[in-house]
Structure 1
Amino acid sequence: MSTQFSIIIADDHAMFLDGLKSILAEESSIKIVLTAKTGAQVLKYLRINTEEKIDLIITDINMPEMDGVELNNAIKAEFPNIKTLVVSMLEDPKKIKTLTDDNANGYISKNAEKKELLVAIKTILNGDNYFSQRIKQIAMEAMFSAKQQQEITLTKREKEVLKLIAQEFTTQEIADKLFLSKHTIESYRKNLISKLGVRNLAGLTRYAVEQGLLD
């Protein structure tokens, strides 16, 4: 890259900051104009130095005051021309989805090799997005899981049975509560396991909790 690019790094871990600065010090085409410990510091700098052209912001997710998810959202809203790269240990599908929905330009793990980190930075600075294979896999799995959940529709009776199972009632107790036979409750349980794609009662309980049936 022959063009000079200006970047900002936001991370509250001094060791990571020092390591990243050391890596980028070898890149003559990249200039670090600011290192910050919070997203709020980055936004303050951008709002004050409106005439300065910033090409890329590299940010962690977990930071005090304003995390990387909030920072990315604010940057895309106020400074849409600035690219963002998330470098984090977190692999939370919800946060990954939020970041991609909010047009983050890249996401890689802090465990990534130096070579991949440079590839990600240069790819984004050259106008393309970069998401590591692991992050893309998590995003795809989350999308598939969300689609599956959307397609599952439980009847009122199935929800009643599922809720009682999650509350640790026995098959006979559930049958007595719902005025049904023990055999009918066993059928409901087997059908729910198959319908929800889980393996056992623990899976049914986890699904009930995730869907808020115990609230």
Structure 2
Amino acid sequence: MSVPVLIADDHPLFRAAMVQAISTQLGPDIYQADDFEQARQVLRQTPRIELVFLDLNMPGADGLAGIAGLVTEFPDVQVVVVSAQEDPQVIHRSKTMGITGFIPKSTPLADITRAVECILQGHDWYPANLPDSELSDEASQFTQRLTLLTPHQYKVLSMLANGLLNKQIAFELSISESTVKQHVSAVLKKLHLNNRTQAGVLFNQLLGKRSAG
């Protein structure tokens, strides 16, 4: 049975290796993208895609922000991270966002094939001997609640975390300040937070970025 898949990675040789590793199980219905925006466009234009293999460091992905963005915009698509990063905290942060698996790029192709088989059987797949999570309860709850945001709400949160004022967000998104305020209120309610500063700080901490300002 063929499963429509997207491989999103900016290295053509690695994409070719992934095609080799997964084509036997998934069939020939494989799409490719070499930057994050192209990946989003492919997903929008091909809603039947069921599974995405995503490189955290591809152009435009902004690391973990890419995962959160895809999960909020395409909640029915399974996301498997394939990354050169092997930091346990990065893996755990990714995991709390609801991804299906995390495959380090150092994984041999034969093991990648087995990981894909595991995922197709309905199981998650993460590196063996992954240390226990060191994320605080607050961080874990925050990442889980991020997936409750709509795409517009997530975009407003990311701009808020970058230090933009309501009028700047309104200008960038071509919406009214009143609509921005409604989005901010909804974001804070869903994240169980009291103010936009707290939201921005937690968002930037999650993504390993310094707070704006």
TM-score by length of 2: 0.57
Q: How far is the alpha carbon of 1:64 from its aligned partner?
A: 0.9
CA pair 69-141 structure 1, distance change in 2 beyond 3 A: closer
CA pair 44-29 structure 1, distance change in 2 beyond 3 A: closer
Equivalent AA in structure 1 for residue 128 of structure 2: Q
Aligned CA RMSD, in angstroms, stands at: 2.1
The reply on whether 1:12 has 2:10 as its aligned counterpart is yes
Structure 2: gaps (5+ residues): 138-213
Aligned residue number for residue 96 of structure 1: 91
CA pair 116-68 structure 1, distance change in 2 beyond 3 A: farther
Aligned residue number for residue 118 of structure 2: 123
Q: 2:41 aligns with which of 24, 44, 61?
A: 44
Please list the CA deviations of residues 144-196 of structure 1 after superposition, one character each: whole Å capped at 9, or x if unmatched. xx58xxxxxxxxxxxxxxxxxxxxxxxxxxxxxxxxxxxxxxxxxxxxxxxxx
Aligned residue number for residue 162 of structure 1: none
Larger Rg: 1
Residues 2 and 28 in structure 2, CA contact (< 8 A), matched pair in contact too = yes
Runs of 4+ in structure 1 off by over 4 angstroms are none
Structure 1: gaps (5+ residues): 148-215
Please list the CA deviations of residues 20-78 of structure 1 after superposition, one character each: whole Å capped at 9, or x if unmatched. 222334x064334311111211111112233xx11210111111122452332122212
Where in structure 2 are the equivalents of 1:102-117 lying within 5 Å? 102-117=97-112
CA pair 46-114 structure 1, distance change in 2 beyond 3 A: same
Q: How far is the alpha carbon of 1:141 from its aligned partner?
A: 5.5
TM-score by length of 1: 0.57
Equivalent AA in structure 1 for residue 134 of structure 2: A
CA pair 102-28 structure 1, distance change in 2 beyond 3 A: closer
Where in structure 2 are the equivalents of 1:1-215 lying within 5 Å? 3-25=1-23, 27=24, 29-50=26-47, 53-67=48-62, 69-134=64-129, 136-137=130-131, 140=132, 142-143=134-135
Residues 102 and 126 in structure 2, CA contact (< 8 A), matched pair in contact too = yes
CA pair 141-68 structure 1, distance change in 2 beyond 3 A: closer
Alignment partners' CA distance in 2, 1:98 and 1:125 = 22
Higher-RCO chain (CA-CA 8 Å, sequence separation at least 6):
2
Does the residue aligned with 1:72 lie in a helix, a strand or coil?
A: helix
